[in-house]
Structure 1
Amino acid sequence: MVMIKRVVRIAGCFRALGWAAIWLVMASSGMARADYRDSVAVLRIGLVETHVATTDPVKLEAIRSAFANALAIPVEIIKLGSYAALIDAHASGRVGYAIHSARSYAATEAACSCVRAFRSPVAADGSTGFRSVLVARDGVNIPVAELKVGYSSEASVSGWQIPHQAIRAGSLDQPDLVRGGSVASVIDLYREGSIDGFFAWVPDVPGEAGSDLERLFGGWNQSLIQSTDPLRIVWSSQRIPYGPHAVHRSLPDDLVDALGVFLDGMASSAPGLMDIFEPAYGGGYVTPDPEDYRNVRGLVEALSDPQSAQYRR
C-alpha cells in the first residue's frame, strides 16, 4: 500500500513537472514572439515639406510602403511646414522618427532630452559633415578685424550662424561684414573686388587632413570662384555633422535596430528608394556618436524665430 502511494506521488510530481515544462515552453515562445510589432500600432515619420518627396504623392507612397513592408507595421508620413514644427512634433511624441537638420536635432534634444540620433547620412564624396570657413584673397594680409567679409544671409548656418557664434565666443575677430543675400551674390561681390573674402563651407571627410578649397560650397560654382583671385582659408570651425535620422526615446530598441538595418541596406538593396528618401546624400549611413552634435548646441537659440524655416548650411 505504501509502495502504491509512493508511485502515485511520483506520478503526480511528473505530471506537475510536465505541466510546468509545457508552461515554460509556452511562455518562452510567447516571449520570443513579443517584439515592437506587439506594442507599436503605427510608426509616424516626420518630414519637413522642403523634402523633395513631400510634393510628389507617388514618391511619398513609395517611402511609406517601403518602411511598412520592411518593419511589418503600419507607417504614416507626417508632413510638417517647417523645422520648428518638426521640433514640436518630435518633442511631443506626435512623430516617432524624423529626419532632422543638425540644428533642429540639437534644438529638439535640448527641448526634451527625449530623442536620439541613430544614423546620419554620408554624402557621395564620403563626407559625413562640413566645416564653416572664412576664406580671403590670398594677396590680402591684414588682420581679420580689418577684412571686408561677405556672407549670404542670417538664415545660413555656415555663412552666418556658426561664424557669428565664434565671434561672440571670442574665437574669431569680427570683420567688416557685408550681406550679399545669396551665395551667388557673395561670389559676385568677391569677383568685382567689393569684399576681401567670404564665409563658406567645405565638406568634412573622415581621415582627410585640412580643407580643400576646390570643394567650397561642396564644389558648387567652382569655375566662377577659380576665375578670380586665389583664396586662402583664414579660419575654420569645428566639424558639424550632417542632419541625423532620430527617434523618440519611447520607441522600442528592437524597432530602432530594425530601422537601422533597413537604412544600412537601402543604398545597395534599394538605390532608387535611396535617391527619393535621401536625395542630398548618396553614400549610405553611419552610426553617430552621441556627442557628434555638441558643436551645434550653441546655435539652438537661433531657432526661436518661427519664420526661419530654411536651416541650411
Structure 2
Amino acid sequence: MKRLVGCLMKSMLSASLGFCMLGAALAQEAVERRTLEPLQSPAQSAPLQQPAASEDNAATAQPMPKSAEEAEHGEPSGLAEAADDGDSANVIDLSEPRKPLRIGLVAERGTIYLQARIEPFRSYLQETLSRPVEVIAFNTMRSLMAAHIGHQIDYSVYPAGVFAMAYASCGCLTPIVAPVSKEAPDGTYMLLVVRGESGIKSLSDMAGRTMALSSKNGAVPYFMALNELKKAGLNPDRDLSSLVARSDPAEALTLLRDGVVDAALVWSSTRYNQFLFSRRGAVASFVEQDGKGASDGARLDFVSIWHSPAIPAGPHAIHNDLPKQEKADLVTALKEMNKRDPEAYDAIERYHSGGFRSVDLSDYAPLIEIATTK
C-alpha cells in the first residue's frame, strides 16, 4: 500500500512539474512574442506632420514619399537585410528606434521632381548615419525658414544671404558645411570695378564719383559690400555724387563701359585683376556677351580697385537643438560624401564640384552683421 501511494505521489509530482514547465514555456513565448511584435513593423518613425501654415502659404510643407524599396517592404533597406540574416530573428532588440533626421528643402520644381533628384542624397545619409532620414518639401524659402526656426525640421540648405537673415531672426541655427568651388575655394567676392583709363586707383579717388549697384532687390551681399566700403573709408551715402541700382550685373557694367558711371559693384569668384576676365563672375560673363557685339572688337578696360571679404557658398545648417554627437556624425558624412558617393553629392549640390568644407558663424559674420541691423 505504501508503495502504491509512493508511486501515485511521484506521478502527481511529475505531472505538476510538467505543467509548470509547460506554463513557463508558454509564458516565455508570450513575452517574446510581445517583445518582438514592434520589430515586425517598420523601425521608422511616422512621417513628420506638416508644419503649421504660414500666413502667406496655407499648405507649405509636404513629407517626401518613401523610396520604392521602403514602400514595397515597409521598412528601411538596412532592416530588410538584417531580417535575412540567419540568427537575427532570434535577437531581441530592446533599444528605441532612432528619431528621423528631418531635412527641409524648397521644391522649386515640385515635390515629385525633388523626390527623384534628392533620393541618392537621402539614402546616403540614412545608410551612413544608421537612422531614418526624411525630406520635407516646402513651397517657399520663407516657409522653410519658419519651420527651421521653430525646429519642425533639423537641417536645411540656404543661400548665404538667406541664412544670415534666418540666423539674425533667432540665433538658433548653426552653419556646418558649405560646398567648395575648385575655381574659388574661399568663396565669392564683391568687387568695385572701374575703367582703367579713369585714373581711379583707390577708394579715396571715388570722392564725388558715381557708382552702379548690380541689384535692385537689396540683396544682403550688396548691403554687406556697402558696409565694408564704409569700414574701408568710402561712405557711399556721403562721398559719392550718385548711387544707382540696376537689375543685374550686365546692366551695371554696361553703364560703366559707356561712361555713365565711374564704378560698378559686382560679384566675382576671384579678387585678382589678372583673372578678372577669365574666372567665373559678372565681369567674365559680361565680356563674353559684350564681345559678340562690341564694335571693332575693342577690349573692355575694367580693373578692380577693391574687394570684399570672401563670402562662402550658402551653408548647410542645423538647428542648435541637434545633439553634438549627431552634429559631428552629420558633418563627417557630408565632408566624405563627394568621395564616397558622388551621385549623392551631385543630388544635393549642382553648382560646386569641390566637395564640402567645414564652416562656422565667423565665415558669415559680415552678412550676419548686416542682416542683424536691417
Per the normalisation by structure 2, the TM-score is 0.61
User: Is the contact made by 2:124 and 2:341 (CA closer than 8 Å) also made in structure 1?
Assistant: no
In 2 relative to 1, CA 295–160 (structure 1 residues): closer, same or farther, beyond 3 Å?
Answer: closer
Look up the SS of the partner of 1:181 in the other structure.
coil
> Structure 1, residues 7-45: CA drift from partner, whole Å, max 9, x if none?
xxxxxxxxxxxxxxxxxxxxxxxxxxxxxx957411111
Give the Cα separation in 2 of the matches to 1:51 and 1:236: 35
Cα 1:104–1:75 change in 2 (3 A) is same
Corresponding residue for residue 166 of structure 2:
108
Number of paired residues? 264
Shift of the 49–235 alpha-carbon distance from structure 1 to 2, 3 Å rule, reads farther
Name 1:27's counterpart in structure 2. none
Shift of 1:144: 1.6
Cα gap change, 1:296/1:216 in structure 2, threshold over 3 Å: closer, same or farther? Answer: same
| 1:291 to 1:179, Cα distance in 2 relative to 1, 3 A | closer
Question: What is the rounded CA distance, in whole Å, between the counterparts of 2:315 and 2:232 in structure 1?
Answer: 29
- Which residue of 2 is the match for residue 164 of structure 1? 226
- The aligned runs of 1:188-227 (5 Å cut-off) are 188-203=254-269, 212-214=275-277, 215=279, 217=281, 219-224=284-289
Q: Tell me the residue number matched to 1:282.
A: 353
Give unmatched runs, 5+ long, in structure 2. 1-94, 292-297
Unaligned 5+ segments in structure 1 are: 1-36, 305-313
Residue number among 219, 233, 241 corresponding to 2:312 in the alignment: 241
Aligned partners of 1:221, 1:231: CA distance in 2, in Å? 11
Name the amino acid aligned to 1:69: E
Name the aligned partner's letter for residue 154 of structure 2: G
- State the shift of 1:55 in Å: 4.0
Judged with a 3 Å threshold, the aligned counterparts in structure 2 of structure 1 residues 249 and 273 are, in CA distance, closer, same or farther, namely: same
1:132 aligns with 2:182: no
Task: Specify the code of the residue in structure 2 equivalent to 1:150.
Answer: A
Q: Which residue of 1 aligns with 2:104?
A: 46
Residue correspondence of structure 1 range 62-211 to structure 2 within 5 A: 62-141=120-199, 143-155=205-217, 157=219, 160-166=222-228, 171-174=233-236, 175=240, 176-203=242-269
Q: Aligned to 1:257, which of 317, 321, 328? A: 328
Q: Report 1 or 2 for greater relative contact order, CA contacts < 8 Å, sequence distance ≥ 6.
A: 1
TM-aligned CA distance change 1:108 to 1:56, over 3 Å: closer
Question: Alpha-carbon deviation of 1:95?
Answer: 0.9
**Does structure 1 conserve the Cα–Cα contact (< 8 Å) formed by 2:270 and 2:276?**
no
Rounded to whole Å, the distance in 1 between the matches of 2:353 and 2:255 is: 33
RMSD after superposition: 3.1
Whole-angstrom CA distance in 2 between matches of 1:291 and 1:147: 33
Distance 1:210 1:287 in 2: 28
Residue 159 of structure 1 and its aligned partner are, at CA, apart by 6.8
Distance 1:112 1:276 in 2: 29
3-state SS of the aligned residue for 1:291? helix
Match of 1:273 in 2: 344
Q: How far, CA to CA, are the matches of 1:69 and 1:47 in structure 2?
A: 20
Supply the AA of the counterpart residue of 2:253: I
Deviation at 1:164, TM superposition (A): 3.3
2:303 matched residue in structure 1: 232
Deviation, 1:126, is 4.3
Question: Following TM superposition, by how much is the alpha carbon of 1:282 offset from its aligned partner in structure 2, in angstroms?
Answer: 0.9
Q: 1:164-205 deviations in whole A, cap 9, x for unaligned?
A: 334666742323223321222223333333333311122269
- Aligned residues of 2:149 and 2:166 also touching (Cα < 8 A): yes
Alpha-carbon distance between aligned partners in 2 of 1:197 and 1:188, rounded to the nearest angstrom: 11
Counterpart amino acid of residue 100 in structure 1: Y
CA shift at 1:79, angstroms? 2.5
Does the Cα contact within 8 Å between 2:174 and 2:318 map onto a contact in 1? Answer: yes
1:200-235 per-residue CA deviation (whole Å, 9 max, x = no partner) reads 122269xxx788423362743443467543122222
Question: Which whole-Å CA distance do the structure 2 matches of 1:160 and 1:106 have between them?
Answer: 13
String of CA shifts for 1:240-270, please: whole Å, max 9, x gaps.
2222111112222222222122212221122
Which is greater in Rg? 2
Deviations 1:257-291 (A, max 9, x none): 22122212221122222222111211011112442
- Looking at structure 2, the residues matched to 292 and 87 of structure 1 have their Cα atoms a distance apart, in angstroms, of 20
